[in-house]
Structure 1
Amino acid sequence: MSDFDTSAAPADVVRRQYLASAAGDLTALRATLAPDVEWTEMAGFPLAGTYRTPDGVTSNVMEQLGKDWEGWTAHDDTYVVDGENVVVLARYTATNRATGKPVDVRVAHHFVVRGGLIVRFEQFVDTALVRAAMPN
C-alpha cells in the first residue's frame, strides 16, 4: 500500500474519491466520505439536493447517474487547496441512455476534508447543458 492510499492530506483524499468514482468502486468511494457527510448537487441538476451518509450519497447520486448515463465520468484536472478546502476544476462526460446525446461540460467541485474524510461537497455546473442531453 502506498502513502497515497492512506494519506489524510485533503487533496489526496479527494483524488482517491475521483479515482474510485471513475472505476465504479462505490466501496472505495464511500471510504473517502465521513459518516455525517453533506453532499450537495446543484439546484437545476437532475439529482439536485443534499444527501447525507456515504450510502445515501452513492445510492442517490452515483448509482442514479449510472442508470441514466453511459460512461458518466468526472475528469478532475486542477486542484486548488486551502487548508481543509479543496476546489477541483473538472469536466463531466457521458451519454444519456434515453436520448443518446452526449454531455461534455466544465464543473467546479468544492470539498471540505477533515480527519482524512470528506465532510462536505458542493457542485457547480451549467445545468442547462446537462439537461439539454436529457429527454424533455
Structure 2
Amino acid sequence: MGRLAKRAAILVLPLVLTACFGSDGDRPSLVDGGQAGGPQPFPDNFRGDTLALMRTYLNNPVGVRDASMADPVLREVGGRQFYISCLHFTPRETDSSYKAMRERAVVFVNGRGDRVVDRTNELCAGAVYAPFPELEKMAR
C-alpha cells in the first residue's frame, strides 16, 4: 500500500469506526452520546459484561467452542478513547454444525459493556488472547 493510500486509510478510519458504532436503529449507543464523555474507567467486570452481551448477541449461546478473550485495552473510536476487548470463538450454527472461527470486539463505555462489533480489523490488531471457558459454558 502506498503512502497516499495509507494516509487516506488513516483519515477515513475514524469515520468508518464511527459508522460502526452508530445506533442500531432500536438501540441507541452510549458511544455517540454525551454520557461517554471524559476519561473512561477500566471495565472491572469485563468478563461478566461480555457474557451478558454475548448471550443476547448469539442466536444460540450453547455449544460455543474455542473461546478466547483479550483483556480490555484503550482504543480510539470516533476521536474518543474506549476500552475494547476482543474475542475469538466458534459458535454453533442453527443446523448444529460448526464453521469458521469468528473475531468480535466488545466496546465498554463508562466501565460497562455497550455493544459487540463485527468489524474488528483495526480494533483487534495485536490483541493477545487467553482462554475464555465461561463463554463455552453458556446456557440459554
TM-score between both structures, scaled by the size of structure 1: 0.39
TM-score between both structures, scaled by the size of structure 2: 0.38
**The structure with more strand, counted as a fraction of residues:** 1
**The structure with more helix, counted as a fraction of residues:** 1
